[in-house]
Chains A and B, each alone.
Chain A
């Protein structure tokens, strides 16, 4: 007896992905959207999600895996409950991005590319976010940008994120 494609995915997630199919002539085109939906649950894409997604979209698992590795917003390893992404491209560096990153590293006790032990925070360098007029800029998870943040306000930002609570490993 063969299981329904994508049966390993929660029903609600499967339905949300399937709702995208009519917009495109091929199911494959929904892949990036599907991965965004999956990642919204825990902040990263666990390996056991790959085969069910591939089955649902009628493509090969390797084709899902190579897309996850190609795009910088998709994470194949756990990130913090609050994934803080700091732009370190030229316009932001010209206005103190490096000092901002240092402030965040000191406050959190981790380096860019790492996750805190309690799994609540992670830090990353990202490329130009498209907010150069309000540099320096960072993005937490997929929330609207935090713009024009002075390096000395790094700890205030972290404190504010802590007050929002949330549990490690879950985004909702």
Chain B
């Protein structure tokens, strides 16, 4: 791991215990923020740092905080997104299992900056170890006076509650998350109104990702100017990249934004298996457009460069596929995921995700007609930009870009009436 990393402890160490966390400077930033800074100063520092949300959308965090109204309505909430269900993504889990106090401290600073009464950490139900670790660390923070009534002698009260999900990707969508927290099906809400105006139980709410909050103590401790020296001009700081698939050393790697993708794959993750060549890479989680090997070898992992190259940073979840991979099969597996996870509200998504999956299964099996490829393309077009949330767009991007960027392989399945890589490719 590069020495510029600051989110995760050194390899092999675990800072979940409060004493350990404090030994490494923990909670000094929160103490400074609460005792010496004004709320607007904190928000401005975070704005100036250029910190962008790490949940997949990359919206400027400081700017999001300025959306919180100044109308005096209480209570005001933070909903912290620990739902982490984007396929390929396992970064927030690293923080929850190895450095949870960093998240707690980030939420504490955010609560002071935004006059927050309580934070609900929505954690996916499957994360057992992370949940128990987080609950234990929060209990330590309460005992030490960092949480509860009279936080650090400020006279303010701030509570953190951990709330378990129960298996639904759409809980990672900010309004789906709030619906689920309120005890309902996680069906996203129409916007406006936005969460800052009408969020949890219609109160002002800011929804922020775990990793995003984990950057905040470091920004306050070392300053926005320092933060801007890490990463690129418009993508500041580090992120925890998650590398999976056909590499020798899959795993989590905290690196500056802007690191070349080929360095992550071939240096940090140990490259491909012997004798194999690179075929395709999804750089930011299953929702993000797949890249051909040629493009993958040229891009840097930051918002601007990836957008320029026809994809998005998303959650920095890098799925590596070598030349043994049938990309039609890969597209089909992802389409099945979106079909399962569609909440069903919007016709374009409910019907479109089902249709895409069925068509891709048919292509993969060799039973599709050539015109079915054009149908896939058409279906993706009416799934984009028309629905209550972006799941429909994600499903469309995934399927559409596999088809557009690897069209000859799709056509080979149709012409040969079978998978040309059957017996060689991974099984779906």
Contacts and interface: CB of A to CB of B under 8 A. Distances in A.
Interface of A: 23-26, 28-33, 35-36, 57, 59, 63, 66-67, 70-74, 88-91, 93-96, 98-99, 126-135, 139, 142-145
Contacts of A63: 184
Contact of B245 (A70, A72, A91): A91
Interface string B291-333: 0000000000000000000000000010101000100001001
A26 B90 contact: no
A36 B87 contact: no
Contact-residue size bin, chain B (C-beta under 8 Å from the other chain)? 35 or more
B251 interface: yes
Query: Which of A32, A36, A89 has the largest number of chain B CB atoms within 10 A?
Result: A32
Given A73-B126, A127-B341, 6 more contacts: A26-B182, A28-B184, A33-B164, A36-B125, A128-B86, A128-B88
B166 A133 contact: no
A161 to B, nearest CB: 16
A132 B250 contact: yes
Interface string B161-188: 1011111110000000000111111100
B288 interface: no
Nearest to B187: A70
A93 B75 CA distance: 45
Nearest to B86: A128
B66 interface: no
Contacts of B85: 127-128, 130
Given A29-B183, A67-B185, A132-B244, A93 B201 contact: no
Nearest to B130: A130
A143 to B, nearest CB: 6
Contacts of B211: none
A73 B87 contact: no
Contact of A90 (B90, B180, B333): B333
Contacts of A142: 125-126, 128
A47 B125 CA distance: 22
A88 B427 CA distance: 10
List the 4 closest pairs (A to B, CB-CB), nearest first: A72-B167, A132-B244, A71-B166, A73-B167
Contacts of A31: 183-184
A88 B428 CA distance: 8
23 contacts: A25-B75, A26-B182, A26-B201, A32-B163, A32-B166, A70-B185, A71-B166, A89-B87, A89-B337, A90-B88, A90-B282, A91-B245, A93-B333, A94-B319, A94-B330, A95-B244, A98-B426, A127-B87, A127-B341, A129-B126, A132-B88, A134-B251, A142-B126
